[in-house]
A and B are shown apart, each in its own frame.
Chain A
Amino acid sequence: MNRTNNIAPIAFIYQNAKAVILSLMILVAILIPFITNEYWERVFVFIFISTALAQSWNIIGGYAGCYSFGHSVFFAVGAFASAILLTKFGLNFWIAILGSGLTASVLSILFFPILRAKGFYFSMATLGTLLAMQVFFRQIPFLQSSDIGARGWVVPSVGSLSFFYYLTLSILIGISIFVFFGAKTKTGYGVQALRQDEITASCMGVWTTAYKCIALIIAAFWAGVIGGIYAPFIAYIGPESTFEVSWTLDMVVMTLLGGAGTVSGPIIGGFTLSLINQIVWANFLYLHVFIYGILITLIVMFLPHGLVAAIEVGVQKIFGMKGLNQG
């Protein structure tokens, strides 16, 4: 009789598909520690950390359009800062996390001159900075622990595995919410204008340099916070492991796989890539990097706009509607 009432719930779900899927995912994520073993819990902490890093790269790479290949500097500096604050100064864990985020932000000020380089010159300059910083961290005594034979820091754990699970999960959700609402502020629009067309934006009166710097500081802060959590979780950090180029590469590939410049992109890309990684790692250990490289190649060749765009195009083709594009 009353047709509109019958389809109303379905229409509601369809129109808010993203929100519904997201709430379901968060629910599943909260329940995972109760239904799986410690192994998978640990795997998921790593997935949350790398996805959150991808989201932080998304701020500078996806939204501002500056393809930084040295973003893991901030992650590594955050990890070192929290390790030093926790072991040398014996600070509270939460203060140490905040301190590592702030340290990374302060360090990002040194990166401001690099922002003058455009396009892939910026990419290469940031990559060069990353490698130079690694040498720095190897050579400077203050940054090395006093234990003989070890360059890195042994960090005491501050909580159980479940503590880190929920902490990293909430950081991931927090940074995603931050990006979602931040993109809708005036600053957010300014940053996105850079990606579209920097020259036009500056002609329109957008102060491009300031917005680039703001995006970099914020992205660095989040990466530093994640590094600050990573150090006590992994218990040992050194210049070799934290400055590895693969950290940066993971952030870039995850974001591009999902779709740069969208909130859901890094999350979808991060989970997809991490699960593929996990399966490959478990089954073909020696082929791991080989398959990873081929995956990158295939992404660029066949999915240059990311999974989110591909899914949206697919859904539109099947249903002939544009419902998923909204929101």
Chain B
Amino acid sequence: MEYAAQILILGFLSGAVFASVSFGFSMVFGVLNIVNFAHGLFILLGAFILYSFTEAIGINPFILLPLSAISVGLFGYCLQRFVINRVMEQSIPMVLLLTLGISLSITEAVKMIWGHEEIFVRVIKGGQESFLLGGIYFPWISVYVFFATAIATVFFFLILNKTEMGMAIRACRDNVESAKLVGIDTNRIYNFTTAIAGAWTGVAGAMVVTLEVMPPEGAMSWLLVAFVVTIIGGLGSMAGVLLGGFLIGLVSSLCSGYINPGWINAILYGLLVVMLIIKPTGILGVAEAQKR
């Protein structure tokens, strides 16, 4: 019984991370209506930038999270402004291929800059790694990350819901034509959408690297995690991403606790395929499946 509770708690804690790496993906998907294969890159860059800053400055990595956010946000802005905006009229698979090409190149550039080793940022040096509460172990780092994720989520929610830019972004998500009619410069909104998605995902990637090692090839697998979460939870809604994240966290935790960790990926991708076949809009999906 305690074993089961332990597994559920760990799954719940990791679910927050799964959700936070996926918000940006869902946002770009909803507003720009493209599949951003460079999303895995945001996670990767967030992690590596946090690693570099921590090595250079040497203070608590959680204080340095905004630096990751700003750098990756800037990267997202440039990517959208100078590359993706030029091909927005092309078919979705072509844009998918384009972002995939960018992802390959930049992953290679990351290897050239940071080397081929996998990285890890250690937050708790020595001391107690976890605490006991009601017979269940809570790893300190997961609890820290959980709350940091919550803060980041609230912050970006406020940006999306309270600022003028956020309102314009939501207008573009709901109806591009109407947004153009009321005088919104959609290309500019697209730039800022990808920038915000990049910043959000950069923070998430930086938090991932405090939990587990990040290899330079990690972009692809984390991109697929984001995709699975987005599809299963529901396209175009933030609540869907939250639900999907916690579901995936629980499923992978149960799988490694009761079956075999080697099967996690097969189960996740299997879930993805089944979901795409029976209900492509996801559990909470409200948006139209295909706008164009």
Q: Does B83 contact A (CB under 8 A)?
A: yes
A125 and B276 contacting across the interface, CB-CB below 8 Å:
yes
Return the CB mask of A59-97 against B: 1 if under 8 Å, else 0: 000000001000000000000000000000000000000
A139 touches B105 (CB 8 A): no
A40 contacts chain B at the CB level, 8 A cutoff: no
Cα A252 to Cα B98 with chains together (Å): 12
Closest to A125 in B: B276
List chain B residues, Cβ under 8 A from A119.
Answer: 92-93, 290
A296 engages B277 (CB within 8 Å) = no
- Partner among B94, B105, B263, B269 whose Cβ is within 8 Å of the Cβ of A128: B269
Q: How far is the CA of A296 from the CA of B94 in the complex (A)?
A: 10
Say yes or no: B92 contacts A125, CB within 8 Å: no
Question: In the complex, which residues of chain B have a beta carbon less than 8 angstroms from the beta carbon of A286?
Answer: 112
CA gap between A212 and B164 in the complex, in Å: 46
Interface string of B108-149 (1 = CB under 8 A from A): 110010000000000000000000000000000000000000
Given A114-B276, A128-B269, A123:B96 Cβ within 8 A: yes
Q: Residue A290 contacts which of B105, B231, B276, B289 (CB distance < 8 angstroms)?
A: B105
CA A124 to CA B220, docked complex, whole Å: 13
Within 8 Å by CB of A124, from B102, B272, B289, lies B272
Bound-complex Cα distance A301 to B102 (A): 12
Contacts A290-B109, A301-B86 known; A128 to B224 CB distance under 8 Å? yes
Cross-chain contact B97 with A293 (CB below 8 angstroms):
no
Return chain A residues, CB-CB under 8 Å to B98: 296-297, 300-301
Binds B, one of A47-55, A130-138, A227-235: A130-138
Q: Which of chain B's residues have a CB closer than 8 A to the CB of A289?
A: 104-105, 107-108
How far is it, in angstroms, between the C-alpha of A292 and the C-alpha of B277 when the chains are bound? 32
How many chain B residues touch A (Cβ–Cβ < 8 Å)?
41
Q: How many A-B Cβ pairs are below 8 Å?
A: 119
B92's partner among A120, A129, A256 (CB-CB below 8 A) is A120
Q: Flag B244-284 by CB within 8 Å of A: 1 or 0 each.
A: 00000000000000000011011001101100110010000
Partner of B105, one of A118, A122, A138, A297: A297
In contact, A124 and B276 (Cβ under 8 angstroms): yes
Cα–Cα, bound, A114→B87 (Å): 28
Q: How close is A150's CB to chain B, nearest CB, in angstroms?
A: 17
B residues within 8 A CB of A122?
A: 276
Q: Which residues of A contact B106 (CB under 8 A)?
A: 293
Across the interface, do A117 and B102 meet the contact criterion of CB distance under 8 Å? no
A171 contacts partner chain B, Cβ-Cβ < 8 Å: no
A120 smallest CB distance to B (angstroms): 4
Contact A118 B290, beta carbon cutoff 8 Å = yes
* Cα distance A139–B106 in the bound complex, in angstroms: 32
Contact between A123 and B93 (Cβ–Cβ < 8 Å)?
yes
Chain B residues in 8 Å Cβ range of A252: 97
Cβ contacts A to B, 15 pairs, < 8 Å: A117-B276, A117-B277, A119-B93, A121-B276, A121-B280, A128-B273, A139-B266, A245-B220, A286-B112, A292-B101, A292-B105, A296-B98, A300-B87, A300-B90, A301-B83
Besides the contacts A119-B93, A129-B273, what 16 more A-B pairs have beta carbons closer than 8 Å?
A67-B93, A117-B280, A118-B290, A120-B96, A121-B280, A124-B35, A128-B273, A135-B266, A253-B97, A289-B105, A293-B102, A296-B104, A297-B105, A300-B94, A300-B98, A301-B87
